[in-house]
Amino acid sequence: MPSGGFPLRGWTNFDEAATAMILPVLTIALVMAASVLRYVRAATLDVLGSDYLRTARALGSSFPQALIRHGLRNGAVPVISILGIELASTFLGAVVIERVFSLPCPGSMLLLAIQQRDYPNVQGVLFISTLLVLLIGFAADLLQRFIDPRLRDRGAGTP
């Protein structure tokens, strides 16, 4: 696998381009997975010690049934929040990975535009980046409302 650089012909030769992307994608995925796994562990430990799981077990549910029916939804809400934040910060932090692996991506384009004082280009990249971060946050909020019925039942004016 190449340690840096992207094929000069770009994606016309798919095999070379995909091989060049393995190490950068693996680097970003490992860093993000390590961070998210800490939150998943904390949420799981919180759910395992909860009263509603103990009550479901006392009412006759088996442990896997109680965990799937009650534990997954309650444990997933904080993890989704953190996952949204991690995805947004990973997108913005990928500039370092782009520079290390010499990839032609928006982060490199932003740095070059800043150096050359190309303000319309800087504004465009920052606008798209901001829009992407906002969309990721919005998608995380929608997914939380879909998973957690307590959030779904709240009206617009209800405190």
Residue 9: per-residue pLDDT: 77
Residue 139: per-residue pLDDT: 93
Give residue limits of the domains in the chain. Answer: 10-153
Residue 159: per-residue pLDDT: 56
* Closest among 71, 24, 129, 75 to 83, alpha carbons compared: 75
* Closest among 87, 114, 78, 73 to 31, alpha carbons compared: 87
Residue 156: per-residue pLDDT: 54
Residue 98: per-residue pLDDT: 84
Reading the chain (159 residues) residue by residue, the pLDDT tens digits are 777 777 777 778 888 888 888 888 898 889 889 889 999 999 989 988 889 888 988 999 898 898 888 888 888 888 998 988 888 888 777 888 888 888 888 888 888 899 999 999 999 989 998 998 899 999 998 998 888 777 766 655 555
| Cβ–Cβ under 8 Å, residues 24 and 97 | yes
* Closest among 122, 87, 99, 110 to 24, alpha carbons compared: 99
Residue 157: per-residue pLDDT: 53
